[in-house]
């Protein structure tokens, strides 16, 4: 008996057909939302720092008070009605996509510990057999030093989880996802 190799099932490039062609969600924060408005630009790069133009980024985050727009969040009844909390965008030819959102508040974690402001991220794309999960923290935030999840990451690798302010555009933050290689982004097994 001989076996014929067949291609693996991956999440891309077909993910664009139903998820980003008409269902992209670039704005997580509507008019009148409470909190510090930010523009977050994410780029996806491969191990050789080559842009990945057909990935998809999904974001999920808390509002300015640290509440998720989800019924299982104990504070969900207090969520700002102008705040969606979820975004989805494909990367373009330059491997980037941008979201209009707010800087999230600190979220109450297990054991009553406050987590630093962060955004939960899923990366999907061709060649990936399952989504990659990571977080975006904001460089320079004083609560980063006490975040219990960030403390699990080796100190020399924490930089891979930091969004950086764009010095030329106030309110703009940049975050690079490195899929592998030098400076690979920390991904979480969730």
pLDDT digits (tens, 9 = 90+) for 51-86: 999 899 999 999 999 999 888 877 667 888 899 999
pLDDT value at residue 126: 80
> What are the tokens at 175?
């975050």
Q: What is the pLDDT of residue 172?
A: 98
Give CA torsion, residues 163, 54, 9, 128, to 10 deg: -20
| Model confidence, pTM | 0.89
Radius of gyration of the chain (CA): 17
Task: Identify the segments of the chain with pLDDT beneath 50.
Answer: none
Is the alpha carbon torsion for 54, 55, 56, 62 positive or negative?
negative
Burial of 164 (0-12, 13-18, 19+ CB in 10 A): middle
């Amino acid at each position: 008996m001989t076996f014929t190799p067949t291609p693996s099932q991956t999440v891309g490039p077909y993910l664009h057909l139903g998820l980003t062609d008409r269902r992209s969600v670039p704005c997580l924060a509507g008019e009148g939302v409470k909190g510090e408005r930010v523009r977050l630009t994410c780029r996806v790069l491969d191990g050789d720092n080559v842009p990945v133009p057909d990935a998809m980024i999904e974001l999920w985050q808390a509002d300015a008070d640290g509440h998720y727009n989800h019924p299982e969040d104990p504070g969900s009844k207090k969520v700002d009605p102008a705040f969606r909390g979820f975004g989805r965008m494909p990367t373009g030819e330059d491997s980037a996509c941008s979201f209009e959102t707010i800087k999230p508040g600190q979220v109450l974690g297990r054991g009553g510990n406050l987590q630093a402001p962060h955004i939960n991220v899923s990366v999907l794309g061709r060649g990936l057999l399952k989504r990659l999960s990571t977080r975006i923290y904001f460089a320079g935030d004083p609560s980063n030093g006490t975040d219990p999840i960030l403390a699990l990451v080796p100190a020399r690798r924490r930089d891979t989880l930091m969004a950086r302010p764009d010095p030329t555009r106030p309110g703009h933050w940049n975050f690079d996802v490195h899929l592998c290689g030098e400076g690979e982004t920390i991904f979480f097994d969730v």
